[in-house]
Chain A
Amino acid sequence: MSRNIIPIGPQHPALHEPEHFQIIVEGETVVDVKPRIGYVHRGIEKALENRTYIQGAFLVERVCGICSNAHQCTFMMAAEEAGGIEVSEKAQFIRTIVAELERIHSHLLWLGAAGLEIGFETLFMYVWRDREVVMDLLEAISGNRVNYAMNILGGVRRDISPELADKIRKGLDYLEERTNYYKKLCLEESTIHKRTEDIGVLDPVTGVKLGAVGPTIRASGVKFDVRKNDPHLKYDEADFELITWDTCDTFGRVVVRVLETIESIKIIRWCLDHMPKKGDIMPEKLIRRVPEGEAYSRFEAQRGELVYYLKSNGTDKPYRVKIRTPTMANILSLAEILKGCYIADVPIALASIDPCFSCEDRVTFVDIEKGKTWTWTREELRKYSREFNEREKRW
């Protein structure tokens, strides 16, 4: 059968961000996928080197709108580890609560978006309506619906009062009831089964080999979760289960996310019950400088393991920050997932890793045919831009 190339992206109704996939098909079946990243590279890593830790904290939030707290928290954890800064017990609890609330909001958002991908508009409407509850809770805690700006070196910026804790508990009761309903719906509704089962299969061996993380690999039955394997914050004490599912397909990814939402609710309840009543949430004097050192910080964000490498040099600015977002780790597995799908299944299979392309975009210079890579200085880049514009007669 003849092979055709179908381009998906950079502009495509199934993608919410610009990214390009060359999908090679035989008839209706996808046989190979070549992802090409780098359309929305924003140079945040470099920008962090020119900003203080305080400024950087609010910049890293903008790496991703949905896992903003995960990014900020990981950045702060890396800086604290590098400089040996203590974080109070209560602040740890609050960080855990916000992280888990954010996970609930992200998973519900994904469930709705996945419903839209398979044309299940009702699921989308229901889920996003219930998601408002968790958004309101986050607003009540932090003052913002997105980009919570909760973390600061050595602690968090806002406290959770007992009244607020009661409000959160009430919200959680409602969310638990609704999430159980969605669990039942996802496990029983026949059209969801029809559109997700045996679609986007990622076998565990390939998944581990390609470095897949988060719900993507947990749906293939691999017990990999930073919260259990290398616990940060309060996860070593909290009582929750590591959710896995062994169908290895899109359906598994749906179920894992729904079940994880229920676990998140459990974790928040535990945190609210065990949180110390008194104690500082941040150091009395604002920490600006981080002593010399380097750290490698891991965090289980909603989409999978988020990694920050940070090197400090004793000033108020980091010397180097390296971010590896979960989608970056999953993008190779995504190529594997799409193989064997029908064209009509590509949108849902693509969405099944919960991609966030703007977070993971990187730029490097590669010549695939000659097999070489190189770096450009600022002057060379400027020279190229002049030549390019002259060639294209833009001025």
Chain B
Amino acid sequence: MSMNMLLLYLLVQQTTALGVVKELFKILVFPGALFMFALALVGEWFDRKVHGRLQHRVGPFYTGWHGILQPLADFIKLLAKEDIVQKGADVKSLTMTPIVAFTIALTMVMFLPVYKGTGIISFEGDLVFLIFLATMYTITVILTGWFSTSRFGEIGTVRSGLQLVAFEVPLALSALTPAFVVANYMSTPRQVAQMLAFMGILNLPTLTLEQYLLLSTFAPELLTFYIAPILQLQPFSALQVLTIGNITAFQAITRIPLILVAPISFASLLVSLMAEMEKVPFDIPEAHTEIVAGWQTEVSGKKLALFRASGDLEMIFGAGLAATLFLGGPYGPGSTIGVTPIERMLGAFPLGYIIGLGWFLVKLFAVLFLIALLRTAFARFRIDQVTAGAWKYLIPLTIFNIAAIQVAVYLDVFGWKFASTLIIIALSML
């Protein structure tokens, strides 16, 4: 993350001196850059280990406990390697692309709600921004192959571009499906109030009597201050709906992970993310037996290290996004809230955060396992088969899922609760 962005971020937050330190810690250490980088390396190790074990191999083995430090060792080794740029390459641009790719990847993971409902960076409509960032990442990849002016690099670039064209639409559609669900749910003031209360923006209506009394003793002004605006609440706007924090909060309140409502979209998101990450059935832009290493053929040394690290970060982002949008993110089935109002009031260390982090990691690694499983089970497709498959099957199926949800919602509005429940159950059975 650049210094300017950091300063801007701090300005927006209007923090004090201690606040600045806290924010810096958040961004640089936990759950920001350092934690995410470590998580990315562990994620790569997990992926390689599972992949290896599924292939009857031992996987990484020597460095650290069961080879857990292998990705870090690889990273350091690559940093120390000679950085070769061949004749005819656009040197300046080729030096820039890995840095840009790494920055984008690091920015993307900052949006993940690691331990509470929102990530370090969050604003209204951040889901759309994330999809945009994911596209930008692929575009840096395309540019890398193009700037390298290598024959294999160019073929890889073209293939990468074709894959982008094929999977951009299903990725956006499936990532936005949860937003459709939330939009339908957040149409009455009562539900909006419940949501806001849950997120801590509005913290009274759901209190128990004891909590109510406690609060009225310690901070009576909050009571009058917060109850009044409830009656004027508006349904969620489109931007509010397209916010990761709201989608996770929705899943926590209703206690329905959205994978039950939109299983096809979840599958579609996973497939599109695998295409974006160039994992095995879709590793066409870097097909070893056809075009050496595709777009990264001429990338070496530090550049390769950065690309590999950003690839790992992207994998964490992809798995984290799927876990957040469809599996409930840091909210487990039991715990409702990251921080209880009591904890917030007393300033106690929020135990909910630790539980939230645990749940998030469990879900993240579950998705990573799924990805490793899928990439073990398939052979590489051909580029024409992939694009045809994306447009013929993936997009219509995702649209069907969204349409089915809409139909269920309308039936619900017209009072045919039974039919609507039936549709939702049928969807979750898929």
Note all chain B residues with C-beta closer than 8 A to A187: none
| B contact face: mostly helix, strand, loop, or mixed | helix
Which residues of B lie under 8 Å from residue A205 when comparing CB positions? none
Tell me if A192 is interfacial: C-beta within 8 Å of chain B.
Answer: yes
**With A121-B280, A129-B56 known to touch, is A345 a contact of B382 (CB < 8 Å)?**
yes
A13:B290 contact, CB within 8 angstroms: yes
Residues of A within 8 A of B283 (CB): 119
B378 surroundings in chain A (CB, below 8 A): 120, 191
Check A119–B384 contact: CB distance below 8 A: no
Beta-carbon contact of A195 and B384 below 8 Å: no
A347 and B289 form a contact (CB under 8 A): yes
Q: Would you give the 0/1 interface string for A314-344, flagging 1 where the beta carbon is closer than 8 Å to chain B? A: 0000000000000000000000000000101
Please give, as numbers and ranges, the residues of chain A lying within 8 Å of B379 by CB-CB distance.
Answer: 115, 118-120, 123, 189, 191-192, 194-195
Closest to A191 in B: B379
Name B292's closest neighbour in chain A (CB-CB): A13
Given contacts A126-B56, A129-B56, A191-B281, contact A117 B289 (CB under 8 A): yes
Instruction: Please tell me if the beta carbons of B383 and A344 are within 8 angstroms of each other in the complex.
Output: yes
Contacting B at CB under 8 A, from A181-232, are 189, 191-192, 194-195
A214 to B280, CA, bound (A): 32
Q: Is B54 positioned at the interface, with any CB of A under 8 Å from its CB?
A: yes
Asked if A195 meets B380 with Cβ closer than 8 Å, knowing A116-B289, A119-B287, A344-B290, the reply is yes
Report B287 CB to chain A, min CB distance, Å. 6
A105-126 CB mask vs B (1 if < 8 Å, else 0) is 0000000000111111111011
Is residue B385 within 8 Å, beta carbon to beta carbon, of the partner chain? yes
Q: Which residues of A have CB within 8 Å of B382? A: 194-195, 342, 344-345
**Chain B, 373-406, CB within 8 A of any chain A CB:** 376-385
Determine the chain B residues whose CB is within 8 A of the CB of A346 once the complex forms: 290
B92 within 8 A of A: no
Give Cα A16–Cα B291 distance, bound, in whole angstroms. Answer: 14
What residue of chain B has the Cβ atom nearest to residue A119's Cβ?
B380
CB A342 to nearest CB in B, in angstroms, measures 7
Known: A122-B55, A126-B55. A194 touches B381 (CB 8 A): yes
Q: How far in angstroms is the closest Cβ of chain B from A128?
A: 10
| A: contact size bracket | 20 to 34
Chain B residues near A164: list those with CB within 8 A: none
B288 within 8 A of A: yes
A47 at the interface (CB under 8 A from B): no
User: Residues 44-60 of chain B: 1 if any A CB is under 8 Å from the residue's CB, otherwise 0?
Assistant: 00000000001111000
A140 within 8 A of B: no
Q: How far is the CA of A123 from the CA of B54 in the complex (A)?
A: 11
Complex Cα spacing A345 to B380, Å: 11
CA distance A117 to B376 in the complex (A): 15
Contact of A13 among B54, B289, B385 (CB under 8 A): B289
A14 lies within 8 A of chain B by Cβ: yes
| A117-B384 Cα distance, complex, nearest whole Å | 17
Give a binary string over A338-367; 1 marks a CB under 8 Å from any B CB, 0 the rest: 000010111100000000000000000000
Contacts of A344 in B (CB 8 A): 284, 287, 290, 382-383
List A contacts of B280 (CB < 8 A): 119, 121
**Residue among A119, A129, A189, A346 facing the most chain B CB atoms (10 A cut-off):** A119
Contact across chains for B55 and A121 when beta carbons are under 8 A apart: yes
- Of chain B, the residue at the smallest CB distance from A199 is B382
User: Which residues from A are CB-within-8-Å of B290?
Assistant: 13-14, 344, 346-347
User: Min CB distance, A212 to chain B, in Å?
Assistant: 24
Q: Mark A365-395, 1 if CB is under 8 A from B, else 0.
A: 0000000000000000000000000000000
Within 8 Å CB of A189, what residues of B? 379
A119, B288: Cα distance in complex, Å: 8
Contacts of A192 in B (CB 8 A): 379
Within 8 A of B (CB), among A78-136: 115-123, 125-126, 129
Assess whether B54 is in contact with A191, with CB atoms less than 8 Å apart. Answer: no
How far, in angstroms, from A391 to B11 measured CA to CA in the complex? Answer: 73
Residues of B contacting A14 in the complex (Cβ-Cβ under 8 angstroms): 289-290
User: Which of chain A's residues have a CB closer than 8 A to the CB of B55?
Assistant: 121-122, 125-126
CA of A53 to CA of B289 in the docked complex: distance in angstroms? 41
Nearest residue, chain B, Cβ from A125: B55
Taking CB atoms, residues of chain B closer than 8 Å to A126 are 55-56
B312 CB → nearest A CB, Å: 19
**Bound CA span A115–B382, Å:** 14
Interchain CA distance A122-B378 in the complex, whole Å: 8
How far is A194 from B379 in the complex, measured between Cα atoms in Å?
9
Q: Closest B residue to A6 by CB, please name it.
A: B151
> What residues on B are CB-neighbors of A123 within 8 Å?
379
Shortest CB distance B278–A (Å)? 11
Near B by CB (< 8 A), chain A positions 26-52 give: none
CA distance A122 to B376 in the complex (A): 6
- A121: min CB distance to chain B, Å: 7
Q: Are A13 and B288 in contact (CB under 8 A)?
A: yes
Q: In the assembled complex, which residues on chain B have CB atoms less than 8 Å from the CB atom of A129?
A: 56
CA gap between A118 and B281 in the complex, in Å: 10
Residue of A nearest to B151 (CB): A6
Residue contact A120 to B380, C-beta cutoff 8 Å: yes
Q: Which of B55, B281, B377, B379 has the most CB of A within 10 A?
A: B379
A337 shortest CB reach to chain B, Å: 17
Instruction: Identify the interface centre among A116, A121, A125, A346: most chain B CB within 10 Å of its CB.
Output: A121
Distance between Cα atoms of A218 and B210 in the complex (Å): 84
Who on chain A is nearest to B281 by CB?
Answer: A191
- Least CB distance, A135 to chain B, in whole angstroms: 16
The smallest beta-carbon distance between B373 and chain A, in angstroms, is 11
Q: How far is the CB of B48 from chain A (nearest CB, A)?
A: 12
Contact A119 B289 (CB under 8 A): yes
A258 to chain B, nearest CB (A): 15
Give the distance to chain B from A324, nearest Cβ to Cβ, in Å.
29
Q: State A42–B290 Cα separation when bound (angstroms).
A: 28
A121 partner residues in chain B, CB cutoff 8 A = 55, 280
Per the bound structure, the CA–CA distance linking A117 and B287 in Å amounts to 9
Within the complex, what minimum Cβ distance (angstroms) separates B354 from chain A? 38
A9 vs B425: C-alpha distance in the bound complex, in angstroms?
A: 57
Q: Which of B56, B288, B380, B384 contacts A342 (CB 8 A)?
A: B384
Q: What chain A residues lie within 8 Å of B56 (beta carbons)?
A: 125-126, 129
The minimal Cβ–Cβ distance linking B295 to chain A, given in whole angstroms, is 15
**Across the interface, do B289 and A125 meet the contact criterion of CB distance under 8 Å?**
no
Which residues from B are CB-within-8-Å of A342?
A: 382, 384
Closest to A194 in B: B385
The 9 A-B pairs of least Cβ separation, nearest first, read A119-B380, A120-B379, A191-B379, A125-B55, A118-B379, A344-B382, A191-B378, A347-B289, A122-B376
Instruction: Known A-B contacts: A119-B289, A120-B380, A345-B382. Give 18 more (CB < 8 A).
Output: A13-B292, A14-B290, A115-B379, A119-B280, A119-B288, A120-B378, A121-B280, A122-B376, A122-B377, A125-B56, A191-B281, A191-B380, A194-B379, A195-B380, A344-B284, A344-B290, A346-B290, A347-B290
A-B contact pairs, 11 of them (CB 8 A): A13-B289, A116-B289, A118-B379, A119-B380, A120-B380, A122-B377, A126-B55, A191-B379, A194-B382, A342-B382, A344-B382
